[in-house]
Amino acid sequence: MYEKVKNYNFKPFIGDNELLLIAGPCAVEDEDNLTITAKFLLENGIHYMRAGAYKPRTSPYTFQGLEEKGLNILKRVKEKTGIKVVSEIVDISQIPSYEAIVDIIQVGARNMQNFALLKALGKINKPILLKRGFGSTIHEWLYACEYLLNEGNHQVILCERGIKTFETMTRNTLDISSVPIIKGITKIPVIIDPSHSSGRSDLIIPLAKAGVAVGANGLLIEVHNHPHLALSDKDETIDFDTFKELLKQVKMLTDLYNKEVI
């Protein structure tokens, strides 16, 4: 069993009566399209836009992100529109620039057990979104989270993004049970990512609703103004109309559960 459950006495970054919605394209592609997406999200009451500047990809032959240029585009879109930004960090050396620009720093599935990175992020004053490794158990994920907490950073959000199973109809299998399991042992908020878990745009709305129904504190959704042109993860990316439909359906559930969308 997971023996090291600490009774942390701090206010979680997302309350249990709140649902944090984070959305955006997989990657920063160019300033114009990112600005269009930021404005669309703000118009629909979404205050956090996620877009990757550094993309740790399984294949070295796929789009790797615009890197520093992408981070600067994020900065400009943030300044222009006022949206908050979420982006994935891949190396300790990037911490100062992320501290300056990014509102929630994502640690991706492939870096969940990069303990040196976690320890360094544990020392800063920024919310960290810690994705579950696709080959990691819930215990391993919680231990990774404790690397952040033990250094003093309590602004942690866990993100269930699916695990490897034998199933081939989806990219990964969304482990929906991890949400209530984690809620039973810790008060760290946990959100779900239907996009990377399924790899399929047609499953985003049903999985998002399932996540809200099991008590997730938020959703991370890939959305793009022209999904078929997206430079990465286009098959799991929804368009603006589908995103609006998702919002409508999710709001029916949040009303039912007395949760506020933030």
The reply on whether position 71 binds Mn ion by CB under 5 A is no
- Touching ligand PEP, residues 33-72 (CB under 6 A): 52
Using the rule CB under 6 A, which residue among 34, 120, 161, 203 binds ligand PEP? 161
The reply on whether position 194 binds ligand PEP by CB under 6 A is no
Q: How far apart are the first and last CA of the chain?
A: 34
d(CA 261, CA 257): 11
Of 196 and 259, which CB lies nearer to ligand PEP in the complex structure? 196
Q: At residue 193, what are phi and psi to the nearest 5 degrees?
A: -120, 90
Minimum separation from the CB atom of position 132 to Mn ion (A): 15
Minimum separation from the CB atom of position 6 to ligand PEP (A): 26
The reply on whether position 26 binds Mn ion by CB under 5 A is yes
Question: Strand 218-222 to strand 18-24: parallel, antiparallel, or no bridges (unpaired)?
Answer: parallel
Using the rule CB under 6 A, which residue among 108, 127, 211, 227 binds ligand PEP? 108
The reply on whether position 24 binds ligand PEP by CB under 6 A is no
Of 12 and 24, which CB lies nearer to ligand PEP in the complex structure? 24
Minimum separation from the CB atom of position 108 to ligand PEP (A): 3
d(CA 111, CA 139): 16
Q: Alpha helices of the chain — where are they, by DSSP H?
A: 31-43, 68-81, 95-101, 115-121, 138-150, 178-185, 194-198, 204-213, 240-256
Using the rule CB under 6 A, which residue among 109, 130, 148, 219 binds ligand PEP? 109
The reply on whether position 88 binds Mn ion by CB under 5 A is no
Which pair of structure tokens corresponds to residue 204?
A: 């985003």
The reply on whether position 26 binds ligand PEP by CB under 6 A is yes
CB-closest chain residue to ligand PEP? 108
CB-closest chain residue to Mn ion? 26
The reply on whether position 29 binds Mn ion by CB under 5 A is no
Please, are residues 252 and 55 in contact by the beta-carbon 8 Å criterion?
no
Which pair of structure tokens corresponds to residue 56?
A: 């740790």
Q: Where are the beta strands (DSSP E) in 103-173?
A: 104-107, 128-131, 156-160
- Per-residue burial over 102-141, b if 16 or more Cβ lie within 10 Å, else e, is bbbbbbbbbbbbbeebbebbbebeebbbbbbbbebebeeb
The reply on whether position 196 binds ligand PEP by CB under 6 A is yes
Please, are residues 248 and 6 in contact by the beta-carbon 8 Å criterion?
no
Quick one: what does residue 224 bind among Mn ion, ligand PEP, none, with the CB cut-off 5 to 8 Å set by partner type? none
Using the rule CB under 6 A, which residue among 23, 24, 71, 131 binds ligand PEP? 131
Residues engaged in binding ligand PEP (CB under 6 A): 26, 52, 108-110, 131, 161, 196
List residues near Mn ion by CB under 5 A.
Answer: 26, 233
